Amino acid sequence: MIDRSSETLIALRRVVHALESNAREMARVSGLTQGQLLVLLQIAQAGQGMPRDIARALGVGQATITIQIDKLEARGLVRRERMQADRRAIWVILTQAGRDLLDHIPDPLHQRFTERFATLAPWEQTLLLSMTQRLGALFDAEDAPAFPQAEGTRAEAQ
């Protein structure tokens, strides 16, 4: 009989495998990294966004987001636009090419998760969040990047 810690690790490995498989499939279909896709999806969800707000929403640093936005802009998927009221502030806006790309990639795993998570009772949502945060602490992962490419962006940028 397998002990509970082993069963828990097996369940976590299955979750990690699902996340990695989804990331590989989305990258294959779109030609983007998971980080770039998450930035694109965040901009699409909000309609537009400022880099600091996108970074905050994804739980990464603004420097990471800036690198991702640069790459997305180079591919014509987003554009930057200065705000009229404050010329120092910049909006990041999804282009039609970005919308078209999002229409043709597989349904992201996090979107399916979000839809299913929303059907849970509030106490279940709180329990899952608490348990997931506790697991992060058990793995010393509190400061780990929110998405895998956050570490790789430094190498990609060089």
Flag whether 117 is in a domain: no
Flag whether 110 is in a domain: no
Flag whether 127 is in a domain: no
Buried/exposed code over 81-111 (b: 16+ C-beta within 10 A; e: otherwise): eeeeeeeeebbbebbeebeebbeebeebbbe
Read off the pLDDT of each residue in 6-29 and give the average, rounded to a whole number: 89
Flag whether 63 is in a domain: yes
Start-end of H helices in the chain? 4-30, 34-46, 51-58, 62-74, 96-104, 109-118, 122-138, 149-157
**In percent, how much of the chain has pLDDT > 90?**
49
Flag whether 153 is in a domain: yes
Domain count for the chain = 1
Work out the angle between the directed axes of helices 96-104 and 4-30 (0-180°, nearest 10). Answer: 130
Please choose, from the candidates 57, 34, 56, the residue with its C-alpha nearest in 3D space to the C-alpha of residue 45: 57
Flag whether 90 is in a domain: yes
- What's the rounded Cα separation, in Å, for the pair 54 and 91? 10
Flag whether 130 is in a domain: no
- The CATH number that applies at residue 12 is 1.10.10.10
Flag whether 116 is in a domain: no
What global pTM score does this model have?
A: 0.66
**Would the pLDDT of 105 be above 90?**
no
- Beta carbons of 58 and 144 less than 8 angstroms apart: no
pLDDT tens per residue, range 38-76: 899 899 988 888 999 999 988 888 899 999 999 999 999
Q: How many CB atoms lie within 10 A of CB 65?
A: 27
Residue-range definition of the domain harbouring residue 28: 4-105+147-157
pLDDT tens per residue, range 134-158: 998 999 887 776 665 433 343 333 3
